[in-house]
Every structure is written in structure tokens, then in C-alpha cells.
Structure 1
Amino acid sequence: MPHETLPQSADHQCDVLVIGGGPAGSTAATRLAEMGHRVTLLEKAHHPRFHIGESLLPANMPLLDQLGVRTEVEAIGMQKWGAEFISPWHDHRQTFEFADAWDKSMPSAFQVRRSEFDEILIRNAGRKGAEVIEGCRVREVEFLPDHAGALVHAQHDDGRSVTWRCRFLVDASGRDTFLGNRLKAKQRNPKHNSSALYAHFTGAQRNCGKKEGHISIFWFEHGWLWFIPLADGTTSIGVVTWPHRMKMRKTSVKEFFLEQIALCPAMAMRLKDAQLVSEVEATGNFSYSCDHSHGDRYLLLGDAYAFVDPVFSSGVMLAMKSGFEGADAIDTCLRQPQKSATALKRFDKVMKHGPKEFSWFIYRVTNPTMRNLFMGPSNVFRVQEALLSVLAGDIYGKTPIWGSLRILKAIYYLASLANLKRTLLAWKHRKFNIRYVEEPEGMA
């Protein structure tokens, strides 16, 4: 494509500059380079680097196919055919298989080390023509008048300062939310807030056979825990709990993490012979969203736009989907400026859709009524197939799940009203840390 000549007020020029080399940024850079745009991707770290969020969804697989990296991901991944939910208030564990979702064509995904997965994506962007620069942190951005793009000031690891002039800017900086913070667009999610601690173990007790790669979700009194088996024998373990719980801790982060695991006997049993082989990381108050997804010559992608509770492993899929949609919108804006408004409106709709559909379940996942629906599923009116489609990430295509999801939500609300006292007590326990003893299912 013909490239617009930009004034020589910067060290370098490009059509699109991408801040961040995670799944969102690498996906967008790859797609834009394939479209013929001059793309520069700036990543503050050097790959491989540690990142949490190791569980992919079946809906990731078509995206990996389009990027041409599926074979590489399969080589580093643990195949994931489903998920299991374990509740101390129920006498069984509930297993779901993705093959039982509405659309049977996406039966599996993978658990991956993010250091390996993210490196595959960023190297692919470089192979496809994007200029990838690691160890270079963006410091400031100046938006230029008359829709002329932006001037980006960055700094290399060795202290050298450098500037880029770009026609379009992409913020894919993850939870750093570079533009979200500077534009005061980032807002704490008032409906849901959690904190997480996580680490890697070896020697954890896994399921056998085909279920070895299942992600396991454990409920406990103060939130939930994850168990994600990786291909090299390591297992990712995480505890998600309320921020006020984190503030109450009087021990080290490591000790507090192990104390929370001990409060969940089913998880503790899986780790009784395991060894902690990494530092324990902690993050707090992590549910947020920005009040807009785009502006004049810039977009926010993935976690730079919003981050929700990771209980359904939606993060990587939402990030990559935003990369595809963002690249399409930018291509339209640069080639056909008269269609920019329509393209950006579509982009904004897609960005809001994903977090919205997952969040309805996330806000309620620790509620007793929602637990009961997960632990005792019914496929009346195909509601179980619709729920499995959400768990698989199949929320953007033409799969006709929405009528069944409305019925599922109606069942939830009716069951909550039928057990109003328990529902209110659970809400108070979570919001105000008012303790109550929840009786086993069937005894309430």
C-alpha cells in the first residue's frame, strides 16, 4: 500500500506503533504487517518472560490457525479437553467436556507456559514483517493535531531515548494500561473485585488419562482456586480471594498463599506431595475497565482495555480477538478514512461484548445458587450446551446460544429468589466479610 509521508520530527516513522508484546499486541502487529502496513512493536521486557494466565479456550484455536502458529503451540502445550469444578458444599466433582458444547467442532484447547506461548506469538509478528523491538519502554505519548497520529517517546534498556512518529497508536500494554492511566480512563470495576496469589508446583496429583489436562476450579469459603497442569510436569496454582482478605494477612505472601490452600482440603490433597518451585506472586484489585476503547488515532486492546476475573480463562482469547478486530479497524481507518466511524463503532461493540458475556457469570460464580447450577447442570432447553459454549469462548460467531442463555439466567434468578436468605447472606459475606456458615447442599 502507499505509505503516507510523515514530518521528520522523530527518529523513526511507521504507520502503526504497538505498545506491548503480549497476545493482543503480537496478534495486532502480525495482522497489520500482513495487510502491508509498516508496524513497529515496542515491548518493555525481553522474551521469554513470565506471565500468568496459562489456560487457553477452544475459541483460541481458530485464531492460532489464522496466525499460522497452531503447530508451534501444540508442541509446547498440554491438551485440555474440559474443566472440572470441586465444591466443599457438594459430595461430587462436576466435569464438563468442551465436546459437549453447542458447536462440537472445537473440542479442546491447550494449557501453556505463557513465557513460551507469548514468545511464539511475538516471533511470528517479526517473521510476518513487523519490526519487533524488545527492552524498550514507552515513556510518553503526544497526540498530534489534525488527526496526524502520535509522537511516541521511548527508552531502551541501555538508557538511549528514541522517538517514533506513527499514524495510528495501539495500546496493548496489558495491565499497565499505558493510555488508560494517562488519559484517566481506567476505572476499578465496582461490581467485582478480587486479589490473586499464584505460583508453580511440581509433583502435584493430576487426573488420569484424557482428563490430565483439565483445568480444575476449587471453591472455598473465601473465593476460588485454580489448578492448571502444564506439559513439563509443572502445575500452576492460584488463589483468588477478596481484597479485604489480602489486607488482613499478618504473614508473608508465601505463608498466606499456603494458608489459603490449606483452607481448601480438596486442593491441599492434590498438593500433599508437591514442591513449590517458584516465587509466590500476588496482585490485588485487578478487575477494571477503561471508559472507552478508542480515540483519535488510537485503540486499547486486551487487558489494556479491561481485565476480569480469570475463573473462565477468557483473558488470552479476549486479547487475541481484540487484536484481530483492532487490526481490521485500523486498516479501514488508514485506507478508507471515510469509513473510520463505522469501523471503530464495530470495534467498540466487539470489545464490550466479550467482557460483558463472561462477567455475568463471573460476578456470580461464588454465589451458592450459581455453584448449584454448575454442580448440578441440566440441559433442559439446551442451557448446558449454551453454558459450555461460553466456557469454550464461543461467543462471537453464529452459534445460536443466546435464547438458552436467557433461560439459564432466568433459572438463576428464580432459584436466588427461592433461597433469598442464603443469597443475601452470601452477598454480605463477600462484600462486608460478615462470616456465616454455609451448610452442605441439601441441608440448608
Structure 2
Amino acid sequence: MASRRSPHVVVIGGGPAGATASTLISQQGYQVELFERERFPRYHIGESLIPETYWVLKRLGMLDKMKSSHFVKKHSVQFVSPSGKHSAPFYFYDNKPHECSQTWQIRRSEFDVMMLKNAEEQGVAVHEGVRVLDVLFEGSRAVGVRIVDDAGNKREFRADVVVDASGQSSMLINKFNLRVSDPQLNKGALWSYYEGAYRDQGKDEGATIVLSLSNKRGWFWYIPMQDDTVSIGVVADFDYLFHGRSNHESVYFEEMENCIAVKERIANARQASPVKATKDYTYRAKQAAGDGWVLVGDAFGFLDPLYSSGVLLALKSGELAADAIVEGLRVGDTSRSQIGSWEAGYVEGMNRMRRLVCEYYDGFSFGEFIRRFPHHRGSITDLLIGDLFKKELDPVFEDIDSMKVRQVDAALPNP
């Protein structure tokens, strides 16, 4: 394809969603300019990959790089009840005997650099240390961006499509007042890193562990990473964690007292970083696209991290948007209906994961459900690995509802 003075696509943000969209569009011969305001590497939370990331990573040409990396291999997820009882591990390979069932626990500062370099290797013009000041519009159509580099130089780039992958500070979600918070998942998180914390051996060394608080008010993640580091964080209702309580460090350790299993695992460990916090949790944009513009990754929405879906949703939205944009460029249609044609199916998948998250907070027991409905074990594992985008999973939720009805009926007094 002959080059031209202006790019076909401008991407705002170089995280996983932006790197994915830009790479897949560039692979089809279109010119892409990507602007990232920071200079990588930079810190970011969201360190556990689930198996369905495999298929997008394969399309990106990232698999060999991941396989040769020093990231810890992840084969399963395990749950610990409020009483400290450990579930049997959910081994991904048992449900899907394919190499995609082994994934990784990543350090995002390294993974994001790998993704951005991979985009550059595949033809994306990557600009770091460049801030997008504004998205340019003609009427309701996005037609480009105005940028400023770290030397203060300003410039405009015209493009057929603008992809906003700028994360939770999304320029377009704010410009059009599109953000809708999720009142049912109004959560926050506190986390830190430990060196020398206990980890299981062999196949279980890299398992993600989800540990409920004894008071059932929230849960801890426990993610073994490379260099003898473990990421440990607590998630709970925003008001519970942050209102009327003292500093983040003290709250974090108070919640550890509510999770003896975590305390036991760090008994011989050293805290390796200050406690960090985030208070901006589950939300979604009212729409994923308009004429000439698309939102992907956290710029479109963020879902509670209970099942480690964050990077998957970034990669998947970037992939789906890229395919819609490529088809739109091919036929000369960059309208909302074309470049946002992926939104409905993506939201359905996102909603399936959201439903499973809400069930967990409502006291859902994986063990009890599988005992009552053993034929759903594969579907539950599909949800946990991120294979979300298929209607065949919906009977799981019908039986979750039926189990709830039976529990309510059993609790009612006899007439």
C-alpha cells in the first residue's frame, strides 16, 4: 500500500489495548501513528494473564517472546473460603488440553514494553513522551489529534480513525460524558509486593489464589511473580476500605488480620514496596464508538479484577476494534455502525464475566455449584479462562439462579 502524508489511524495510548489495535491494523498495511504520553517502562497494576489471551498474543506475534521470557508460568486458579478452606485448583489444561492453557504472571512494566516494541517492529510509528491535547472533530466526526511532545512542540495529525486507548483517564469518555459507574461493584483496592513469600511447588507455583476475608467483606489476590516477588492486594467495597479509616498502610494490614491464610504465607517474607491504592473501579462507557473514533481497553470500561480479566479485555477489545477498523478502511466506511460493530458481542462477554464477579460477592460457592451441577464444570472453567464470547455459557447462570431459588425456598419456614 502506498504511503501517504497523514496516517490512516491514530492511536492514543501505548498500553496493551493500544498496542494490540495498532499492531493488527498495521499488519494489514495501513499507516498507524501511536502516541504515548509516558516513556516506557512505567509501572502498572494488572499482572495476571488468563488463558484466552493466548489467541490474541498469537495474532500479534508475541507468543515466542512470551515463551522465552522469565515470567512465571500459570496453570490454574484456586479459591480460599472465608474459613480458610482451599478449593481444588481449577487446572486450565483439564478443561482445554492445548498449550493455550498455560499462561503467565507478568510484570506489567516489562510486558507493556514488549508489546509496544512488537508494535513498532510491525510497522507502527510509536511516539513516547507525547501527549494528546485534543481530539479534532469536524461536526460529530473525529478527524485527528493535536499533540505536544516533551520539548513543547505542538502538531496536528489528521487520520481516518482515532482509537482512544488512553486508559481510565480516557479523553473521549470524559469529553462526551460517557462514563457510567457500576453501583453494584463500587470497589477499591490496596496492594503491595513481598519478597520471599510462600509459593506452592511445581505446577502450582504460579497459581493465582483468591482468598476471601474471614468477615466476607472482600478478598485478597495472591500472584506469584518472577524474582521471588508476590503481588498481594485486597479488594473490598469502597466505603469499607476508605471511609472513616486511617492511612492506606494501616488499613492494608488490618485487612490481613481478616485473612489468616495470607498472613501465614508471608510469615517469613519481606515487604518490598509501599502500599498502593486505587479507588476508581468498575465502570463502562455508554458507547464504544462514534463516527471516526473508537474506545478500547480501560478507555471503554474496567471490570473488577477478581478473575484477572483486565489484560484479556484490553487485548480482546483492541483486536475486535482493529478488525472492524480494517474492514471499514477497506470499504471506505468509518462510521460508528461499522467501526463499533464489535461492541454488542464484546459487552455480552464482558457481562458474563461481570455476572460471575457479582455472584462471588453474593456468596457464590464454586465447590457447591459444581457438586450440584457437575456438567457445568467445563463451562465454569471456560469463564475463568476468559472464553467469554459464546452464548453456550448462559445456561450456567440459569442454574445459578435456580440454585438460589432452592436455597431461598429451603430457608422459608414451613406453613
Superposed, 1:123-134 pairs within 5 Å as 123-134=117-128
Deviation (angstroms), 1:177:
1.9
Q: Which runs of 5+ in 2 are unaligned?
A: none
TM-score (norm 2): 0.92
Of residues 16, 39, 49, the one that matches 1:46 is 39
Whether 1:174 and 2:167 are equivalent positions in the alignment is yes
Deviation (angstroms), 1:139:
1.7
Does the 8 Å CA contact 1:223/1:241 hold for their aligned counterparts? yes
Deviation per CA, 1:220-275, whole angstroms, max 9, x where unpaired? 12211100001221111111011112333542212221221222111111111211
Of residues 357, 366, 370, the one that matches 2:361 is 366
Of residues 19, 34, 44, the one that matches 2:27 is 34
Deviation (angstroms), 1:191:
2.5
> CA separation of 1:393/1:276 partners in 2, compared to 1, >3 Å: closer, same or farther?
same
Once residues 392 and 116 of structure 2 are traced to their aligned partners in structure 1, the CA distance between those partners, rounded to angstroms, is 34
> CA separation of 1:396/1:141 partners in 2, compared to 1, >3 Å: closer, same or farther?
same
Of residues 305, 319, 327, the one that matches 1:324 is 319
Does the 8 Å CA contact 2:195/2:230 hold for their aligned counterparts? yes
Q: Which runs of 5+ in 1 are unaligned?
A: 6-12, 422-444
Once residues 184 and 246 of structure 2 are traced to their aligned partners in structure 1, the CA distance between those partners, rounded to angstroms, is 29
Does the 8 Å CA contact 1:3/1:15 hold for their aligned counterparts? no
Superposed, 1:248-397 pairs within 5 Å as 248-337=243-332, 343-344=338-339, 346-368=341-363, 370=364, 372-374=365-367, 377-378=370-371, 380=373, 382-396=375-389
> What does residue 107 of structure 2 align with?
113
Once residues 336 and 144 of structure 2 are traced to their aligned partners in structure 1, the CA distance between those partners, rounded to angstroms, is 23
> What does residue 15 of structure 2 align with?
22
> CA separation of 1:252/1:380 partners in 2, compared to 1, >3 Å: closer, same or farther?
closer
> What does residue 181 of structure 2 align with?
188
Q: Please, what is the CA RMSD of the aligned residues?
A: 2.2
Superposed, 1:66-85 pairs within 5 Å as 66-74=59-67, 75-85=69-79
> CA separation of 1:131/1:296 partners in 2, compared to 1, >3 Å: closer, same or farther?
same
SS in 2 for 1:51: coil
Once residues 299 and 336 of structure 2 are traced to their aligned partners in structure 1, the CA distance between those partners, rounded to angstroms, is 21
Whether 1:86 and 2:46 are equivalent positions in the alignment is no
Once residues 321 and 175 of structure 1 are traced to their aligned partners in structure 2, the CA distance between those partners, rounded to angstroms, is 17
Once residues 177 and 196 of structure 1 are traced to their aligned partners in structure 2, the CA distance between those partners, rounded to angstroms, is 21
Once residues 49 and 91 of structure 2 are traced to their aligned partners in structure 1, the CA distance between those partners, rounded to angstroms, is 14
Once residues 404 and 392 of structure 1 are traced to their aligned partners in structure 2, the CA distance between those partners, rounded to angstroms, is 17
Does the 8 Å CA contact 2:294/2:340 hold for their aligned counterparts? no
Deviation (angstroms), 1:333:
1.6
Does the 8 Å CA contact 2:131/2:147 hold for their aligned counterparts? yes
Once residues 411 and 342 of structure 2 are traced to their aligned partners in structure 1, the CA distance between those partners, rounded to angstroms, is 39
Deviation (angstroms), 1:154:
1.9
SS in 1 for 2:342: helix
SS in 2 for 1:316: helix
Whether 1:151 and 2:147 are equivalent positions in the alignment is no
Superposed, 1:397-436 pairs within 5 Å as 401-402=392-393, 404-418=395-409
Does the 8 Å CA contact 1:329/1:340 hold for their aligned counterparts? no
> CA separation of 1:285/1:95 partners in 2, compared to 1, >3 Å: closer, same or farther?
same
> CA separation of 1:403/1:290 partners in 2, compared to 1, >3 Å: closer, same or farther?
closer
Deviation (angstroms), 1:302:
1.1
SS in 1 for 2:97: coil
Once residues 83 and 380 of structure 1 are traced to their aligned partners in structure 2, the CA distance between those partners, rounded to angstroms, is 20
TM-score (norm 1): 0.86
Q: What is the identity, as a one-letter code, of the residue corresponding to 1:108?
A: Q
> CA separation of 1:77/1:187 partners in 2, compared to 1, >3 Å: closer, same or farther?
same
Deviation per CA, 1:195-226, whole angstroms, max 9, x where unpaired? 01112111111112210100000011221110
Does the 8 Å CA contact 1:389/1:401 hold for their aligned counterparts? no
Once residues 341 and 302 of structure 1 are traced to their aligned partners in structure 2, the CA distance between those partners, rounded to angstroms, is 17
Once residues 107 and 409 of structure 2 are traced to their aligned partners in structure 1, the CA distance between those partners, rounded to angstroms, is 43
Of residues 74, 90, 95, the one that matches 2:89 is 95
> CA separation of 1:18/1:416 partners in 2, compared to 1, >3 Å: closer, same or farther?
farther
Deviation per CA, 1:28-78, whole angstroms, max 9, x where unpaired? 110111111110111111111111110001111121111111122231321
> What does residue 429 of structure 1 align with?
none
Which moves more between the two structures, 88-97 or 23-32?
A: 88-97
Does the 8 Å CA contact 2:294/2:321 hold for their aligned counterparts? yes
Once residues 90 and 409 of structure 2 are traced to their aligned partners in structure 1, the CA distance between those partners, rounded to angstroms, is 27
> What does residue 116 of structure 2 align with?
122
Does the 8 Å CA contact 1:43/1:134 hold for their aligned counterparts? yes
Does the 8 Å CA contact 2:21/2:319 hold for their aligned counterparts? yes
| Identity rate, percent | 31
Deviation (angstroms), 1:92:
3.9
> CA separation of 1:403/1:182 partners in 2, compared to 1, >3 Å: closer, same or farther?
closer
Once residues 346 and 151 of structure 1 are traced to their aligned partners in structure 2, the CA distance between those partners, rounded to angstroms, is 21
Q: What is the identity, as a one-letter code, of the residue corresponding to 1:384?
A: R
Q: What is the identity, as a one-letter code, of the residue corresponding to 1:231?
A: Q
Does the 8 Å CA contact 2:199/2:224 hold for their aligned counterparts? yes
> CA separation of 1:204/1:340 partners in 2, compared to 1, >3 Å: closer, same or farther?
same
Deviation (angstroms), 1:282:
0.6
Q: What is the identity, as a one-letter code, of the residue corresponding to 2:209?
A: S
Of residues 224, 228, 235, the one that matches 1:229 is 224
Does the 8 Å CA contact 1:386/1:404 hold for their aligned counterparts? no
> CA separation of 1:406/1:367 partners in 2, compared to 1, >3 Å: closer, same or farther?
closer
Deviation (angstroms), 1:305:
0.5
Once residues 340 and 110 of structure 1 are traced to their aligned partners in structure 2, the CA distance between those partners, rounded to angstroms, is 37
